[in-house]
Structure 1
Amino acid sequence: MGDMETEKTDGAVEIARGVYWVGAIDWNGRDFHGFTTPGGTTYNSYLVVGEKTALIDTVKAPFAGEMLRRITQIIDPSKLDYIVVNHMELDHAGSLAELKKQTDAKIFITKRGVDILNGYFRGLGSENWDLEVVQTGDELDLGGKTLMFLEATMLHWPDSMETFLKEDRILFSNDGFGQHIATSKRYDFEVGDVIPDAAEYYANILMPFHMPLLRFMGVLDKMGVDPLQIAPSHGIIWKQDLKKILEAYRAWANGEVNEKVLVIYDTMWGSTEIMATEIAEAVRAAGVEVKLLNLRKNTRNHIMKEMLDAAAFAVGSPTLNNGLFPTVGDFLVYLKGLRPQKKKAVAFGSYGWGGGAVKTVEKELKDTGIEVLEPGLQIRYRPYEKELERCRKLGEQLAAVAKEQ
């Protein structure tokens, strides 16, 4: 198969001899449990055909028919021998019950995956399904095709697993190395640079799990897993940029940062925005890359992508009812769940008859495990020249912090 054109079989896509993409494209999906997806997404399922056949992962339940049509173009689904469940989250396993109506295929799954499977599908027949629990290093011989299972605990659920097709050196990585993009193309070299999409995906899905990721990449090295293709469950397959995405994942997991500062804020009557702009301008004037990000004009997942390689950031909020502005509170809750590493941050904001937001921002940042630069900057009513100079000083401080990294 040449690198310039993907071979297709009536909608199914052959990615190696006897190996097919049979997934689904969610062209109009715009929200993925809080992750804004303006470009849609895909749910990737893969059919491996040797003397016996195995389906690796299914698709989100509303797309079961699309998956089954593609499988049917290769084999009769009732003849399927095995199903590999790399991860039980319903964007990957949602069609399992529908598929099991058509086949008695044995399911290969991790021990922790069994409990989740029964939690979702009890009453839909799961108590009678033929299951085999596997762990790292276990293999399934299909006759000419050998699948090796690799537990990927907490990437990003306890049950997560990846599967390596040894003969064709394809790593079916489930949520690892994914991106939320919908495309009729299947490969990186067909769609251009998707590293930014992968960065956004990593920042919002896998960022809290950098230590399990580093451990898993160590397991790949130890077991001699050297893929020629990485086939995730969302987005495109990595082939041309395989080395680039592996290097990027190692850098992200190690918390490598650049000389970069984010100024993240919302504003009520414009005062906090004036402060944010002045802080950002001072960072820029110091020769450090800066991004000015209004929380009502930038999605949380975009901001977290920018956070990935930032050395420092500022969070600004006006005071509302002695506390945070709602969008700032929302962002800080989201941030706390993702727990970015190796960052320093500062709080700023404005108030009228009573303050409170800056102290609350500082507390939330500390609770997230981020090193907070104190004191934060709080200005009453509207900033004038003396207050603007304090904003500039804060920007210079952030630029200096970024340069130290």
Structure 2
Amino acid sequence: MGFKINEKVTWVGKIDWELRKFHGDEYSTHRGSSYNSYLVKDKKIALIDTVWQPFSKEFVANLKKEVNLKDIDYIIANHGEIDHSGGLPELMKEIPNTPIYCTKNAVKSLKGQYHQDWNFVEVKTGDTLDLGENKLVFIEAKMLHWPDSMFTYMTGENILFSNDAFGQHYASELMYNDKVDNSELMQEAIKYYGNILTPFSPLVVKKIEEILSFNLPVDMICPSHGIIWREKPLQIVNKYMEWGKNYKENQITIIYDSMWNNTRRMAESIAEGIKEADKDVTIKIFNSAKADKNDILGEVFKSKAILVGSSTINKGVLFSTAGLLEMIKGLEFKEKKAVAFGSYGWSGESIKFITKELNSAGLEVINDGIKVLWSPDDTEIERCKEYGKKLVELILVELI
């Protein structure tokens, strides 16, 4: 059933409590998610976005309890990805001629996914749709995070329907940012940004600056995943501006995979050395074969430096290390230092492989890394600790 946001806007989406993986197996959703759809009732009625395809029948059935479908004058598709547009095929069976307002790229996206020639109306930044007492203003948001993305702003109510921007994969019946656990909320928000929007950070900053230049009052931000921002809604906008400018905290993240615990011992010894040299730095250590990859990437996003380690296998690295390095490359992190480490028994190519991949990812590799033959003895453990201490000095020098 719907949830009334105010006298004119009703949430008609779906909370997905069971969701644990998203984008196939690419993104972990430990706290579930939601697909937020909004019904706007003025003299004219508009529906903003729908839900993911598996919930389309349920969505249409619930929507009928809120409105006679034939009374819907307009459908707004802020983004064509299936988790937001998946309810359209089922809905359009009932109201096939209802106009769908979206960007030119969204027309291509929706036609490509559903192979239907619906009544599309292309819009661009500044175009408006008069509902009677209120207007909808469209703002293209290309690459936040697809080429077809846009925001819709509702005048009078001062609501920004931001689709994927400012969202989180976070299921809660509490609905609003002032009601949920704020630490959980911000943890999911920064993970969402770090894993999805990081490659588009320059565009994020530019688009936000453009929107702020319009001087539109914003009393509420309604994204298409997770919680609605109603208490100090611009706080998440300010966070995006901060995150979009090569964000980093005083944190070093150590990531490793290990066959016989030798690389693990190296990771822990290097961490000891780092902590001895800098008691204020946050150190986080992850086994990439056991920890969640998106949680790791969220910590990489927050870090000023990362260490990546692996045993050598078949003249290369272990599976989880290779996969994570590929994801790091795709996210195009900026202004982060990096080094490689690892143990080996035969030839020890893992260090060169990791270093090459870190360079390829655009990270600033500080030195050639450190490797240990076979199992580290006390002397090698001490060498790893000293390496950690020197690493702190190198990072500080590099950051000045």
TM-score, normalised on structure 2? 0.95
Residue 130 (structure 1) aligned to one of 85, 109, 119:
119
* Counterparts of 1:251 and 1:346, CA distance in 2: 26
- 1:21 matched to 2:11? The reply is yes
Query: Partner letter of residue 42 of structure 2?
Result: G
- 1:171 matched to 2:163? The reply is no
Which residue does the alignment assign to 1:7?
none
Please state how far the C-alpha of 1:83 moved relative to its aligned partner.
0.6
RMSD of equivalent CA atoms = 1.3
SS where residue 304 of structure 2 aligns? strand
Deviates more, 1:329-338 or 1:393-402: 393-402
Please state how far the C-alpha of 1:301 moved relative to its aligned partner.
0.9
Query: Partner letter of residue 138 of structure 1?
Result: D
Query: Partner letter of residue 164 of structure 1?
Result: Y
Q: How does 1:271-350 map to 2 (within 5 A)?
A: 271-285=262-276, 286-287=278-279, 288-350=281-343
Residue 75 (structure 1) aligned to one of 57, 67, 77:
67
Q: How does 1:383-394 map to 2 (within 5 A)?
A: 383-394=376-387
Query: Contact (CA 8 Å) 1:27, 1:41: kept in 2 or not?
Result: yes
Query: Partner letter of residue 171 of structure 1?
Result: L
* Counterparts of 2:61 and 2:175, CA distance in 1: 18
Deviation digits for residues 144-197 of structure 1, max 9, x if unmatched?
121100000011111111111111111111110111111222111121211111
Deviation digits for residues 325-359 of structure 1, max 9, x if unmatched?
00100111111111111101000001001211111
Q: Specify every segment of 5 or more residues in structure 2 that has no aligned partner in the other structure, as ranges.
A: none
Q: How does 1:6-405 map to 2 (within 5 A)?
A: 11-33=1-23, 34-103=26-95, 104-122=97-115, 126-127=116-117, 129-193=118-182, 194-285=185-276, 286-287=278-279, 288-403=281-396, 405=399
Query: Contact (CA 8 Å) 1:317, 1:349: kept in 2 or not?
Result: yes
SS where residue 298 of structure 2 aligns? helix
Query: Contact (CA 8 Å) 1:261, 1:402: kept in 2 or not?
Result: no
* Counterparts of 2:265 and 2:130, CA distance in 1: 64
Query: Contact (CA 8 Å) 2:16, 2:33: kept in 1 or not?
Result: yes
Shift in alpha-carbon separation, 1:304–1:226, aligned structure 2, 3 A: farther
Q: Report the number of matched residues.
A: 391
Shift in alpha-carbon separation, 1:243–1:222, aligned structure 2, 3 A: closer
Which residue does the alignment assign to 1:3?
none
Query: Contact (CA 8 Å) 2:51, 2:87: kept in 1 or not?
Result: yes
Shift in alpha-carbon separation, 1:284–1:244, aligned structure 2, 3 A: farther
Query: Partner letter of residue 97 of structure 1?
Result: P
Query: Partner letter of residue 263 of structure 1?
Result: I
SS where residue 83 of structure 2 aligns? helix
Query: Contact (CA 8 Å) 2:336, 2:363: kept in 1 or not?
Result: yes
Query: Contact (CA 8 Å) 2:125, 2:138: kept in 1 or not?
Result: yes
Query: Contact (CA 8 Å) 1:180, 1:201: kept in 2 or not?
Result: yes
SS where residue 189 of structure 1 aligns? coil
Query: Contact (CA 8 Å) 2:355, 2:368: kept in 1 or not?
Result: no
Query: Contact (CA 8 Å) 2:366, 2:394: kept in 1 or not?
Result: no
Please state how far the C-alpha of 1:318 moved relative to its aligned partner.
0.4
Query: Contact (CA 8 Å) 2:304, 2:335: kept in 1 or not?
Result: yes
* Counterparts of 2:332 and 2:216, CA distance in 1: 29
* Counterparts of 1:295 and 1:172, CA distance in 2: 36
Shift in alpha-carbon separation, 1:294–1:255, aligned structure 2, 3 A: same
* Counterparts of 1:387 and 1:84, CA distance in 2: 62
Deviates more, 1:97-106 or 1:269-278: 97-106
* Counterparts of 2:354 and 2:217, CA distance in 1: 45
Please state how far the C-alpha of 1:133 moved relative to its aligned partner.
0.5
Query: Contact (CA 8 Å) 1:60, 1:93: kept in 2 or not?
Result: yes
Query: Contact (CA 8 Å) 2:60, 2:87: kept in 1 or not?
Result: no
Query: Contact (CA 8 Å) 1:258, 1:402: kept in 2 or not?
Result: no
TM-score, normalised on structure 1? 0.94
* Counterparts of 1:165 and 1:243, CA distance in 2: 16
Q: Specify every segment of 5 or more residues in structure 1 that has no aligned partner in the other structure, as ranges.
A: 1-10
Query: Partner letter of residue 13 of structure 1?
Result: F
Query: Contact (CA 8 Å) 2:33, 2:169: kept in 1 or not?
Result: yes
Query: Partner letter of residue 308 of structure 2?
Result: V
Please state how far the C-alpha of 1:393 moved relative to its aligned partner.
2.6
* Counterparts of 2:232 and 2:323, CA distance in 1: 35
Query: Partner letter of residue 275 of structure 1?
Result: M
* Counterparts of 2:67 and 2:227, CA distance in 1: 24
* Counterparts of 2:363 and 2:380, CA distance in 1: 26
Query: Partner letter of residue 133 of structure 2?
Result: G
SS where residue 218 of structure 1 aligns? helix
* Counterparts of 1:168 and 1:180, CA distance in 2: 25
Deviation digits for residues 204-246 of structure 1, max 9, x if unmatched?
1101110110111011112123311111111010112523322
* Counterparts of 1:166 and 1:29, CA distance in 2: 34
* Counterparts of 1:138 and 1:320, CA distance in 2: 57
